Amino acid sequence: MVSRWQPQTGLLDLSKMRDNELLRKGGIAVFGERGCPPNFGKAFWKVAQSTCPGVVSISLASNNLKLLSVLDLQQMVDNLPSIQNLSLQDNNIYNVSELNGLSWTVPQTLHQTGLTGLRELILTGNPVARAVPGTPEYETYRRAVHRRFPTVSQLDGSPVEPLLTPIPPAIRGATSSASQIQFPIGCQPGLTDKPEHRAVVSTFLVKCDFSRRPAR
């Protein structure tokens, strides 16, 4: 993993893992391969956290991924919470719902943390992203992805207007220090601090079509 880590840019390049010579020689099966241990994802992402501190970009391109659940997505998010750029390019992903495990806005996954700081997502080269830009199918795809990741400002290399400002992990986890600060006026909890509030916000994002806002 060290050979795939670029600390200067914060990039962890996990593309074409199945072609890795060391893994092949060691007979080690990776995500989605037959013989991959059931707890491989949990151990893998913990090693990534300790070996590659400060990861902000991950490439999982060209891994023949169809079901993203094989990546143990929640372990990835828990161990690498600062991900801002994610490439899933040139895999075999057919459905946008495969991304639910990385999203915090999908109702059935509200118990998850999700990639609340994601800025760029690349899905080109997957069946899910085969729609031609400018067509209704492409707009449907773009909106479906953006509802799951409202902080994204770059999708498949094209700019999109973020619906929410990314929340840095340092701020998300600063509850203990923040509780010691005294303000002159009492502050109320944020809209997404409680599960029931997050449900309301996520339902709002899922139902609203922000791409059809009236021109100002």
Q: pTM for this structure?
A: 0.74
Q: How do beta strands 154-155 and 120-122 pair?
A: parallel
Q: How many H-runs (helices) and E-runs (strands) does the chain carry?
A: 7, 7
Query: What domain range is 106 assigned to?
Result: 2-212
Sequential pLDDT tens for the chain (216 residues): 888 999 999 999 999 987 877 777 777 778 877 888 778 888 899 999 999 999 999 999 999 999 999 999 989 999 999 999 999 999 999 999 999 999 988 865 555 678 999 999 999 999 999 999 899 999 999 999 999 999 999 999 999 988 877 765 555 544 333 333 343 444 444 444 555 555 555 555 555 554 455 444
Per the structure, the count of domains in the chain is 1
Q: What is the DSSP letter of 189?
A: P
Specify the 3-state DSSP secondary structure of 131. coil
Phi-psi region of 134 (alpha: psi -120 to 50; beta: other; left: phi over 0): left
> How far is 24 from 32, CA to CA, in rounded Å?
15
Choose among 58, 141, 71, 74: nearest CA to 110.
74
For the domain that residue 89 is a member of, what is the CATH number? 3.80.10.10
